[in-house]
Structure formats: C-alpha cells, structure tokens
Structure 1
Amino acid sequence: MDHRLVKVDGMELKISNPEKLLFPHVSKWEFILTYYRLAPYLLPYCRDRALTTIRFPDGVNGKSFYQKNVPAHRPDWIETKRDGEVEYVLLNNAPTLIWLANLACVELHVSFNTIHDPLMPTELVFDLDPSVPDFLRVVEVALLIRELLHKLNLDGIVKTSGASGLQIYIPLEPRYTYEQTRKVGKFISHYLAELHPALVTVERMVNKRGNKVYFDYLQHWHKKTLIAPYSLRAVPEATVSTPLLWEELTPELTPKQFTSANIFDRLEKKGDLFADGLRKKIRLDDILQFIERHRL
C-alpha cells in the first residue's frame, strides 16, 4: 500500500508511503502514530509560535532541509502567520501535526515568543552543548547553573535537547524584552565561564572550545528557535526532547535514553514535567537592576 487515508479531528489526511523507514527501526506510519500520541503534550509548547521544521523525505540517514515557509500546496485549514517575507505554519492542532509528519518533518523548532507578543519571550532559555562526547560535563554545568539561579532567587526547569545537550527554561512574566533577557543570559553565562574556566565556555567557534561545555545564550533571540519539548530528533535512536526532574541529573543520564519507544511509559509514570514548571512565572527585576548598577 503506497498510501493510507486517515481522519484526525474531522480532517481527512492522505499518508503517503507509510511503510517507508524514516529511522532504522521506525516506519513512517509508526513515526506518525508517535506524533499523534504525543500531540497532547507537544502542542501546548508550539501553539501560536513561529515554526521551523527539518524535513527528512528519505529518512534520517538521507538528505534534509530546513523549512520556515509553509509549503505552497497545503490544506486551506492550516493556520499560518506572516512575518516579513516568511509565512510560518502555526502548529496549533493535531491535524496540522500529522500533516507535517506526513511531509517527514521530523524535528519541530519553535520561537521563544508567541505571535501575540513578538518582542517578548515567554521564557529565558539556556542551551548547553558538549564539545566532546562526555555528557557528564553537561550535567555538571546544568547543576552549577541551578545553584547560581537559587542564589539569585530564580529557578528553572530542564529538558534534554534530544541530541547531545540540555536546555534550561526560566518561565517569565510577560514583561521583558529580548534585550533584557539577553543581558541576564550574558551575565550568567560569562560569570560561570569565569568561575569555572576549565568546564564552561561562551566561545562560539567549535574548534576553540576544547572539551568545555558551550553555554549558548545567544540562541535566545527574536526570530530564532529551539527544539520543542517532545519533538523527535533526527538520530537513529529516534530520541525525544524530554523534560526532566532535577533529581534525574546524575552521572548515568544520557539524552539517548529517551526515545519514541519508551516516552509514553515515562509520560504515564511522570506526566508532563514542564506543565507545572512553566506556570510559575518569574520576574527578572532584581537581577536586571543588579546588572544595571554594576554596568555588566
């Protein structure tokens, strides 16, 4: 069979080549079913945000391409939002998610702001990437960041990138601009890099990082994106960007352990660990005043 017809919330969709392998052990049909089951968890973090997808029409071992603009041939019920020359898909419902999955949109990257407040991010996010295959160093840096956040009367929630790193979210009251959040990100990242020079770097050039963990505070900006919570990643293991408890940041942790094969057992046991955390909105007034006083 080269296609299947399915109905998702009343919308009829044609699934092409359902038996094609998108991952070494995951067919396109299994991939689509995974996203359908993940929809209740994934959609709240994508709703009304500019979406960038990475498509793998021949599977994750084949060629890929980024797509920001909505494809020309799309159902008329697909919601979009134009921003300059780009017309973004709004991933607001399950039919849209399945339509994207049928296009082999494996990775789903979303903006830090909603379309309603384009200059105000809903959270401040720190992206931690290892320079060598040693995830323990990423765990160490994440725990150092949380320790510092507590000293600043702040806190965050953490998830795997699904690839090689960790990402820490600080949910914000809707009152701060990207310029203000950039000041906070720069202060915290540079402070940790100076305090732990053998472990943390803000150096963008990969060949100059050595074995240090890259604290990427620059990615958090207007019109930039980050992998959405519960998005799959284009690696052979079909990993999922997965929210964590801070207690799970142990020497044994690896992002490769959370996959499309086991994510639903985890969700059944732990639920969505981001849901409560993102509801606790945080103010940055004190740290912004400190930065301003010291002209940092």
Structure 2
Amino acid sequence: MPTAVKGSITVDGQEIIITNPDKPLWPEVGITKKLYLQKLAALSPYLLRYCRDRLLTVIRYPHGVTGMSFYQKNAPEPLPPFVRTFNHDDITYITLQGLPELLWLGNLAALEFHPSLHLAGSTLPCEWMIDLDPSREEEPRIMEAASIVGKVLKSLGLNSVPKTSGATGVQVIVPITPGVTFDDLRRVGHFVGRFVTEKHPELFTLERLKKHRGDRIYFDYLQHYSGKTLAAPYTPRARPLATVSTPLTWEEVERNVSVTDYHLLNIEERLTRTGDLITSVPPQPVEVIARQLS
C-alpha cells in the first residue's frame, strides 16, 4: 500500500492539497493519482467546456477502480473557497468553473464526471444527446447502430457527432440553438427511435426495462431531460483500461472503432490532432422538425 503522503500544488492562484499521489487508481494500466491529475489537466480545456456552470454529479473511487465507489451529488464538506455551488431540489451541487476545482475533485478520486444537461438555473438543454445503450457488456454492433442513427438524422437535415460513452455505449450529439426545449428533443427523439426500431427491430429497442430487451440496443431518448445526466464528453471512466468518453468522426464509426480505443494514456495525443470534434458542427435546426411533429 502507498504510504500517506500529503503536499500541495498551486493552480491559477489556488492552493490544492494533494494526498497519496502514488495511489493506484487504474492499476491495470499503471495510472496513479499523480498521473491522473496530469491527464485531467490535459483534458481540462475540453472536459470543462461540457461541465462548466452545470449541476455536477461525480463518481468517486477512493481506492481506485477496483474498490468501492459512490455517486456524489451534494458537495462534500469542507469546501475550498474557490469551489462554487448551486442549490437545486435541495441538493447543493458543485458547478465547475476551472482547473483548480477539477484537480481538487481529481484528488478526491472523482473518476467520472456526469453534468446536468442544462446550465444551473436554466430549464433549457445545452445540446441534444441520444444514448445508445447496449444490453450486453460487449456489443460488436454498437458502431453499426450509431451509423444508422447518424444517417437517419442526416436524412432529416441534422448533422451530428458520435462519441463513445467510455463504457459500452455510444451517444450521438446534435448541437442545438438556444430556445429548444427538452420536450422538443423528446418529440424528435421518439420519432427517430420509432423509425430505427421499426426498420431494424433485431438491433434496436425502445424497451426501458433491461430484462425485456434481449440482446437489442436501447435507443434511449428519455434520458436527455431536465434533472438527468449523461457522461460528459471527455470524462474518464472507471473501467479497467481507463477509457475516456471520446467524440469520433463518422469515418471512424464506419471503420468500427472500439469504445476501448481511446483512453487516458492516448487521449492527449488524439486531441492534439483532432481538437474538439463537437465544435466543428454548428447548431442544427432541430426546432424545425419538432414543430413539424407537433
């Protein structure tokens, strides 16, 4: 076991206490807390873009991914003075602003970041995410499913960006214009979900109960709603290979890339080459389709 070590670093003028830097967090791939904090800092310009000013839920693994974990919605006490919070439904959420808060959470072994789908104090979505959730732990058809959904969206005049969940699934992201509502997105999502399940009943299902899905992939248009969360783009995941939720190109989807291809040990190099693929797609006219379906 690593010995108890305590030190501090100063980031953007804020002192952050670091404990047990040699603690293994992802032992299978040799990632210690110290290395994790370095990788988290490299990810921060991308991860913060999709977490900043949102209601944040984290999943903490005090003893690394092989140990117990717990979801944390309420901000822990005591809080450093630089950490901001927002009270929503009697829960005091952290609202990330910058790198100091991110590294503070990293030191607490927060290995996954699940922000709200809207800004704190708002009732409007920031983007649209369709969640494709496999029923099997390993699903060789997940990229095929993502490709089908992307093509259906394209046929409706909507460009989108696929991303790995970092676990087993894929989300398809559609940037939206301000003013689109969660109900608008549910209406369009239900339309697309019904279409793909009718066209490919062996591949997709709208069945919410996992025990009734068989081996089909759940087209989850319901998760994208006020008060719910999805894994943020660029969040690490508490999986053995330290995978990262990574936006993809549609060409990569057609090549059937694996959700395990992108992880903390190679994501920095990838982002140097690709940048944030989500920002390459402008807001899409989802509201036009929603009005047509009203």
TM bin (shorter chain)? over 0.9
Structure 1 position 107 matched with structure 2 position 109: no
2:144 corresponds to which of 140, 144, 152: 140
Moved beyond 3 Å, runs of 4+: 133-136
Which stretches in structure 1 are left out of the alignment for 5+ residues? none
Tell me which amino acid in the other structure corresponds to 1:6.
I
TM-score (norm 2): 0.95
Q: Is the 8 A contact 1:49 1:110 kept in 2?
A: yes
Counterpart-to-counterpart distance in 2, 1:43 and 1:119 = 20
CA distance in 2, matches of 1:286, 1:14: 50
The CA deviation at 1:250 is: 3.2
Distance 1:46 1:253 in 2: 26
| Alignment-derived partner of residue 189 in structure 1 | 193
Measured after TM superposition, the shift of residue 133 of structure 1 is: 4.3
Contact in 2 for aligned 1:136/1:251 (Cα 8 Å): no
Matched, 1:246 2:257: no
Distance, in Å, in 2 between the alignment partners of 1:206 and 1:251 is 28
- 1:124 is matched with which residue? 128
SS at match of 2:230: strand
Q: Equivalent residue for 1:63?
A: 68
Corresponding pairs, count: 289
- Residue in structure 2 matched with residue 264 of structure 1 by the alignment: 268
Matched, 1:204 2:214: no
Give the gaps of 5 or more residues in structure 2: none
Q: TM-score, normalised by structure 1?
A: 0.94
Counterpart for residue 222 of structure 2: 218
* Residue 94 of structure 1 pairs with residue 96 of structure 2: no
Distance in structure 2 (CA, Å) of the matches to 1:122 and 1:212: 29
Q: Which SS does the other structure have where 2:140 is aligned? A: helix
Percent identity of the aligned residues? 42
How well do the aligned residues superpose, as a CA RMSD in angstroms?
1.3
Per-residue Cα deviation, 1:69-111 (whole angstroms, up to 9, x for no partner): 1112111111111112011111110000000001100000011
Are the equivalent residues in 1 in contact too, given 2:138–2:168 (CA < 8 A)?
no
Q: Which residue of 1 aligns with 2:5?
A: 2
Match of 1:49 among 54, 69, 76: 54
Query: Does structure 1 conserve the Cα–Cα contact (< 8 Å) formed by 2:233 and 2:246?
Result: yes
Q: In the aligned structure 1, how far is the partner of 2:256 from the partner of 2:181?
A: 37
3-state SS, counterpart of residue 18 of structure 2: strand
SS, match of residue 179 in structure 1 = helix
1:80–1:88 Cα contact (<8 Å) kept: yes
